[in-house]
């Protein structure tokens, strides 16, 4: 009997602007503290990662500007869409992130939100901002790769 495909990891949202505007130096998986209606809304993929970032306050990491739309069938106990949400990390990881962001002038940017074994997880990237010439170089490289792949596909 064949085993069904593993559907335990399901990507909910991706922050495409983060990959355009930042160099991702390191990635880290973190849990996120959510309320009941927020979990239901995330599972419906009503999440916008654009413009969101993480900050460290008093030994905790908080995710700011993450927009989770109110749940459609929620009642008066529905959540606020733009509230701060705490990321669940070990103290050692938080200290490491604090050193990196303070000394090296790096940013904490959420890259992906996904489900892992029924739990909502956030992939946080330690990122360095790109300059305009870096973005232009990336565009040139992508167009060259695209044209090369078209030329190869036309030869077949």
CA distance 131 to 39: 36
Instruction: Supply the pTM of this predicted model.
Output: 0.80
What ranges do the domains of the chain cover?
9-130
| Strand, coil or helix: 76 | coil
- Chain position carrying tokens 């596909």: 153
Give the model's pLDDT for residue 121: 94
Q: Report pLDDT for 7.
A: 55
Angle in degrees, CA 40, 97, 118, rounded to 5: 25
**Residues of the chain predicted below pLDDT 70:** 1-8
CATH topology of domain 9-130: Small Protein B; Chain: A; (2.40.280)
pLDDT of the residue at 2: 56
Distance (Å, whole) CA 35 – CA 13: 18
**pLDDT number for residue 40:** 86
pLDDT digits (tens, 9 = 90+) for 7-49: 567 889 999 988 888 999 999 999 999 888 888 888 888 899 9
Residue position matching structure tokens 């070990």: 90
User: Residue 115: what pLDDT?
Assistant: 92
Answer yes or no: are the C-beta atoms of 115 and 121 closer than 8 Å: yes
Write down the pLDDT at residue 8: 65
């Amino acid at each position: 009997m064949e085993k069904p495909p593993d559907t335990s990891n399901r990507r909910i949202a991706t922050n495409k602007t983060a990959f355009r505007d930042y160099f991702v130096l390191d990635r880290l998986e973190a849990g996120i503290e959510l309320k009941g209606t927020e979990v239901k809304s995330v599972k419906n993929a009503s999440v916008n990662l654009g413009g969101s970032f993480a900050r460290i306050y008093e030994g905790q990491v908080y995710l700011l500007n993450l927009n989770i739309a109110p749940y459609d069938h929620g009642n008066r106990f529905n959540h606020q869409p733009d509230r701060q949400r705490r990321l669940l990390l070990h103290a050692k990881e938080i200290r490491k992130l604090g050193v990196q962001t303070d000394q090296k002038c790096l940013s904490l940017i959420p890259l992906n939100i996904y489900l892992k074994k029924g739990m909502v997880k956030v992939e946080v990237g330690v990122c360095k901002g790109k300059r305009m010439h870096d973005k232009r170089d990336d565009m040139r490289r992508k167009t060259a790769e695209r044209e090369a792949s078209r030329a190869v596909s036309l030869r077949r």
